Structure 1
Amino acid sequence: MGTDANIPAFVINLDRDIARWQDISGALTRLEVPFERIPAIDAKKRMTLIRRVIRRDFQFAPANRAMKAGEIGCYLSHIAALKRIVRKNLPAAIIFEDDAAFDVRFPQFYRHDLPRFLMTSDIVKFEGIHYVHTSKSGVSLIKGEAAQLVVPLKPALGSAAYAVTRTGAIKLIKALSVADRPLDHKLVYYDRHGIDFAETQPFLVRQADYDSSIELRNLDAPPLQPAERLRREVASVGRGAKRIAYVARLLIKRRLLGAKSPSAA
């Protein structure tokens, strides 16, 4: 995959969200990004059918709650987009949610940086939501024209814009086979799904100011019991160790690949 590639995009959009579709389709047309609409699964209307076809509980275990209908629909819609990439045998593609809004530097990133970044990582995330527990920096892999590619130890959440290689799509479909947490959590947990993952700094896409299609999460959950708090702290240390080992492995692999490339001779 060389530079200046026209990487296609798939846009997840609910049938009722006509204004969103008009906005993002117009933006992508102006940006000269080839795109295709993926009809989003409206779990609020089709939950009975979903539970009949997928016989499992949609429980967000770490938060001790059931997944919301909107979260389930979003999750299944992303799987549909990933399967489209595999069926079309595309070397790489972008997945957008329909509330994506673009930075002025996005055209430069799309034309020049993204093709190079996808040669290093099977998932390149270029939109994200930071919280107090997420990293705003990371280990740098490549410096591009509009952004650099980094591996954060605590990735940002959000799933409005990311690119995957075909290999990444195949692996993600497998990783998403059990819906036990919202899609954005599964996407960034590279220590669990084991797919080469990185994100850009800065992010070149943000979520536009629309009302959320996903129900607000419960912010009034009861406080954690001491035993559960301790369990989570121990688990967090374990995840941190796995992520450090992952970053080290990725850097070693990148160095070995660079040593084998003709340009390094």
Structure 2
Amino acid sequence: MTGHAFILHLTRASARRENAHRLRDSCGLPAEIWPAVDGAAMDDRELRARVDAGLFAPRYPFPLRMGEIGCFLSHRQIWAEILRRDLDHALILEDDAGLDPEHFAQALTLGRDHLDRFGYIQFQTRPARGPARLIATQGACQLLLPQMAGLRTTAQLVTRASAEQLLAASDRFDRPVDTFVQSHWQTGLRPAMILPSGISEIADQLEGSTIQSARKPVLEKLRREWLRGRYRRAVRHASASSAAPDASHD
């Protein structure tokens, strides 16, 4: 299998540069650092060309922040690069990922062994919300197919076919990339996940998130929490009734 790794790194995020190089050198595949799209540098015309609202149900309840738009476009660039290079698959890592080489090597072997079957495998940092079917194990690592796919795009394996499928479905988008990938009732692609994966989130040890918003008043925070809870319930329902193919029964 022809595989390659891309380390997404925002050039101005200098505090993350050393970690990006560390990921490149320790991820277990031929790798390069890929310059992420800087959402803050985009103009209104570029935004209108990509971002829409209410594209599919459940409707995403928040306007996209500039960093979220840049993050989505960065992943789309890599999906397109997978096709351009005719790679069998790619490992995509974000520059705030922590990587334990020993445990990640087990997770990577497990993921690559089953990647053709699932197409998109997340190296998760959090347990699944709700039911998840155990598919296989490698050492302490478990490959699971959750009913409600996980969030986070910290690290994932993506096949060429899945990159093509996701790229075609996201010419315009209305939600963050991890929330889009979670929406298998819309994309037709059910992400599997590995946990523990040897991947952790270390943004707080670097410079914090590059997708930040201003501090909000208490009432606004409460309103957002209510909207987020309602959205999650709708996602849970859509996940349970999804018609996306279930590779665990192949």
In 2 relative to 1, CA 198–7 (structure 1 residues): closer, same or farther, beyond 3 Å? Answer: same
In 2 relative to 1, CA 27–232 (structure 1 residues): closer, same or farther, beyond 3 Å? Answer: closer
Shift of 1:109: 2.5
- Separation in structure 1 between the aligned mates of residue 180 and residue 232 of structure 2, nearest angstrom: 19
Aligned 1:65-104 pairs, distance under 5 A: 65-103=62-100, 104=102
Asked if the contact 2:104–2:197 (Cα under 8 Å) also holds between the matched residues in 1, the reply is: no
Task: Identify which of 201, 207, 210 aligns with 1:207.
Answer: 201
- Separation in structure 2 between the aligned mates of residue 213 and residue 233 of structure 1, nearest angstrom: 24
- Separation in structure 2 between the aligned mates of residue 185 and residue 62 of structure 1, nearest angstrom: 11
Paired position in structure 1 for 2:221 = 220
Identify unmatched segments of 5+ residues in structure 2.
none
Residue 132 of structure 2 corresponds to residue 117 of structure 1: no
Q: Counterpart of 1:62 in 2: which secondary structure?
A: coil
- Separation in structure 2 between the aligned mates of residue 29 and residue 223 of structure 1, nearest angstrom: 40
- Separation in structure 2 between the aligned mates of residue 195 and residue 33 of structure 1, nearest angstrom: 24
- Separation in structure 2 between the aligned mates of residue 236 and residue 31 of structure 1, nearest angstrom: 32
Please identify the structure whose Cα radius of gyration is greater.
1
Asked if the contact 1:124–1:197 (Cα under 8 Å) also holds between the matched residues in 2, the reply is: yes
Identify unmatched segments of 5+ residues in structure 1.
254-265
Aligned residue identity for 1:47: D
Shift of 1:197: 1.9
Paired position in structure 2 for 1:16 = 12
Paired position in structure 2 for 1:151 = 145
Between the two proteins, the alignment pairs up a number of residues equal to 239
Paired position in structure 2 for 1:107 = 105
Indicate the structure whose relative CO is greater, using CA pairs within 8 Å and at least 6 residues apart. 2
Aligned-residue CA RMSD (Å)? 3.1
- Separation in structure 1 between the aligned mates of residue 17 and residue 180 of structure 2, nearest angstrom: 26
In 2 relative to 1, CA 136–144 (structure 1 residues): closer, same or farther, beyond 3 Å? Answer: farther
Q: TM-score, normalised by structure 2?
A: 0.81
Shift of 1:176: 1.9
Q: Counterpart of 1:50 in 2: which secondary structure?
A: helix
